[in-house]
Chains A and B, each alone.
Chain A
Amino acid sequence: MFKRVDGDGRGSVTIHVEGQAIAAREGDTVSAALLASGLDVRRATAVSGARRLPYCMMGVCFDCLVTIDGVGNRQGCLVPVAEGMQIEIQKGKREIGK
C-alpha cells in the first residue's frame, strides 16, 4: 500500500506484529509502521466485526485501535514505535485483562 521514500536516514526499530518481526523506523507511529509493513493489519470493529484500517491518522477517528504491549484499544496513530514492542491486531471488543 505504502512504500518508504529514498534517503530516509532514520534508525531501524524492530517491532513484533502478532509475533512476526517487522522493521519500522524511529519516529514512525505504530499505525504508520503497520501500514508500511505490507501485512494484513485490518482490525475488526467491536460492533459488527467489520474490517477497518486507520482513516485519519491524527487521533480523531479511532479506527487505528490496536493492542500494544498487552494493552488493548490504543490509538496506534498517536503512539511512536519502540524497540521490541509487541503489537496485536484488535479483534472486536477489548479482551478481559488486555
Chain B
Amino acid sequence: MSAAPKQDQYDVVVIGAGPAGLAATAMTAEAGLSTLLLDENAGPGGQVWRAINSTPVKTEALLGVDYWSGAEIARAARDSGAEIIHRATVWSLDRDLEIGVSVGGGSAFVRAKRVIIATGAQERPFPIPGWTLPGVMTAGAAQTMLKSSGLVPDCPTVLAGQGPLLWLLAAQILRLGGRIDRVLDTTPRANYIAALPHAFGFLTSPYFSKGLAMMREVRAKVRVTSGVTELAAEGDGTLSAISYATASGKRERLPAELLLLHQGVVPNVNLAMAAGIEHRWNERQLCWTPVLDAFGNSSVAGIAIAGDGAGIGGAQAAVVRGRRAAGDAIKALRPQAKIVDLSAELARAERGRAFLDVLFQPARQFRIPQGDTIVCRCEEITAKDVLDSVAIGATGPNQLKAYRRTGMGPCQGRLCGLTVTELMAEARGKSPQEIGYYRLRAPVKPIMLSELASLPKSEESIKAVVRG
C-alpha cells in the first residue's frame, strides 16, 4: 500500500513517472535536492514504458528495444534517493506551488520550490459514430493491456486510424499471437504531399527505418486498407460491425467485436491549465500546448512542463526534456552546480517530429463530428446539440457548458474538449485559439468528499461558511 508523502515541503516535486518524470527525478535527486515523484499508476513507466518492472511479456524482442530502454531509467529513479509514491492522484496545483495529492483515500498538501509536470499525453479523441459502444477502445488501451497483463485480442478485431503507435501495436499484438482482421488506415492522402518538405529530418531520424520495418511486418500478416475517409462503429448495446468508405469510393462493412482507434496523442493539459499555465493552440499538432521557455518553464513561476505534456515529442525527447527541466531546477536551487547543455541532444531527439506531425495530422471529419455522433461521452451530448447551442448564442466552451453540461462529467473535458473547441470554431468561423478551452479548476481528478473535509480549516473559512 502506498503511503502519504513523508514531508510537507520538497525542493522538487515531479508529477508523472513516465520517461520525462523518471529522468527528471533521477537527476534532481542525484544532485542532492529533496525530490518527490507522484504517479497515478501502480508502477513506473507511464504509458510508453507501462509495467516496465512487472510485465508478464519478458521476451525482449516482443515488446521491442525502445520499450526496454525504460528499465534503466526507472532503475536510476528508484536508486536516486527520491521519494516515489505510486497510486497517488494529484488533484490540485496552484500558483503558490502547493500540490493537493490523494493517496490511499487520504489527501494532503505538499509544497515545492520547483514543480515539474510530466503528465504526458492521452489519446486524441476519435469521435466517430458509435465510438461509445462497448468494444470500441483506444489503441493505447489495448497496448496497456498487452504490456501490463499480457492480454491480446482473440475476437474479430479491427484497428483503425493512423500514426506510429497504431503500427507498433499491430506488430506487438501479432507477435504475441493475438488476432487482427483488418487495419483501416485513415491517413489523408494529401498529407503525404504536405509532409514532404519535412521529409529530410525524418529520413535521417531513427523513426524512419523502424517505422518502415514495422509496417512491413504488419502488412505481411494482415490486410491493410488505405485511404479510409469514413468510419462508423455499429451495434446495439455492443459493437457488432464497422463500416467504412475509402477515397476511391469503396464501401464495406466488417463484422467486428473489437475496434481499436488511434489518431495520435495530445498533451494531457488538465493539471497544467488548472494551475493557470498559459496554453496556445498548436496549428501543427492541432491541440493545446503550453507556452514554455527553452528549459520548459511555464508562465507560472517555478512550474516547468516536460515530456509530451509540453507538446508531443515522443519518449526520447521526453527523457531529454525531463533532464533539461531538472537541470534548470538544479541551477535555480544550487547555483554552483554545473549543468550540461542538452540543446543538441534535444534537437536530435525531436528530429523527424515535424514530418510525423504533418503526415499524421488527422482528417477534419475524424476530429469534427456531425449530427448524432456523441461529442461529450460523460454527458452524452452530440455534435448537433453543440451546434444548436451555438445557434442560440454559445460563443465558446464555457457558455456551452451552461447550455449543455459538456465537460461537466467525471472526465472533466478530457475526451470532448478538443472536439468542442474545433467544432465551435468551425461553426463560428473563428480559430480554435479565439474560441478557447474549458476553464479548468481543481479537483482535476475526483477525490472523496471526506478527503476534502479533512483538509485544514481556518477560523476565517468557518466564518465564511457558517453564517446563521
Contact = CB atoms under 8 A, between A and B. Distances in A.
* Direct A–B contact in complex, judged by CB atoms less than 8 Å apart: yes
Interface of A: 1-10, 25, 27-29, 32-33, 35-36, 42, 45, 47-48, 50-63, 65, 73, 77-78, 80
B132 to A, nearest CB: 6
Interface string B320-346: 000000000000000000000000000
Contacts of B394: none
Contact of B141 (A27, A33, A55, A62): A55
Given A4-B151, A25-B56, 10 more contacts: A4-B150, A27-B51, A27-B148, A53-B137, A55-B415, A57-B141, A60-B122, A60-B268, A62-B411, A63-B377
Interface string B21-61: 00000000000000000001110000100010010111100
A3 B56 contact: no
Given A27-B148, A42-B134, A1 B411 contact: no
Contacts of B149: 4, 25, 27-29, 32-33, 36
A61 B377 contact: yes
Contacts of A28: 148-149
A78 B132 contact: no
B151 A56 contact: no
Determine the main DSSP class of B at the interface with A.
loop
B127 to A, nearest CB: 12
Contacts of A63: 132, 377
A33 B148 CA distance: 11
Contacts, number: 135
Interface residues of B, number: 51
Interface of B: 40-42, 47, 51, 54, 56-59, 87, 122-123, 132-138, 140-142, 144-145, 148-155, 176-178, 237-238, 257-258, 268, 377-380, 409-411, 414-415, 445
A6 B119 CA distance: 33
B377 A58 contact: no
B176 A5 contact: yes
A51 B134 contact: yes
Contact of A57 (B144, B153, B178, B378): B144
Nearest to A10: B56
A78 to B, nearest CB: 6
Given A51-B134, A55-B377, A61 B415 contact: yes
Given A52-B132, A55-B141, A55-B377, A6 B177 contact: yes
Given A29-B149, A55-B141, A8 B122 contact: no
Contact of B42 (A51, A55, A80): A80
Determine the main DSSP class of A at the interface with B.
loop
Nearest to A81: B149
Nearest to A51: B237
B128 to A, nearest CB: 13
A50 B238 CA distance: 10
8 contacts: A10-B56, A29-B42, A42-B238, A54-B137, A57-B138, A58-B144, A59-B445, A60-B411
Nearest to B257: A1
Contact of A78 (B40, B133, B257, B378): B40
A5 B152 contact: yes
Nearest to B155: A1
A91 B141 CA distance: 23
A53 B233 CA distance: 14
A54 B411 CA distance: 13
A62 B142 CA distance: 16
A53 B380 contact: no
A54 to B, nearest CB: 6
CB-based closest 7 A-B pairs: A57-B141, A53-B134, A3-B154, A8-B56, A62-B410, A5-B150, A2-B151
Contacts of A65: 410
A41 to B, nearest CB: 9
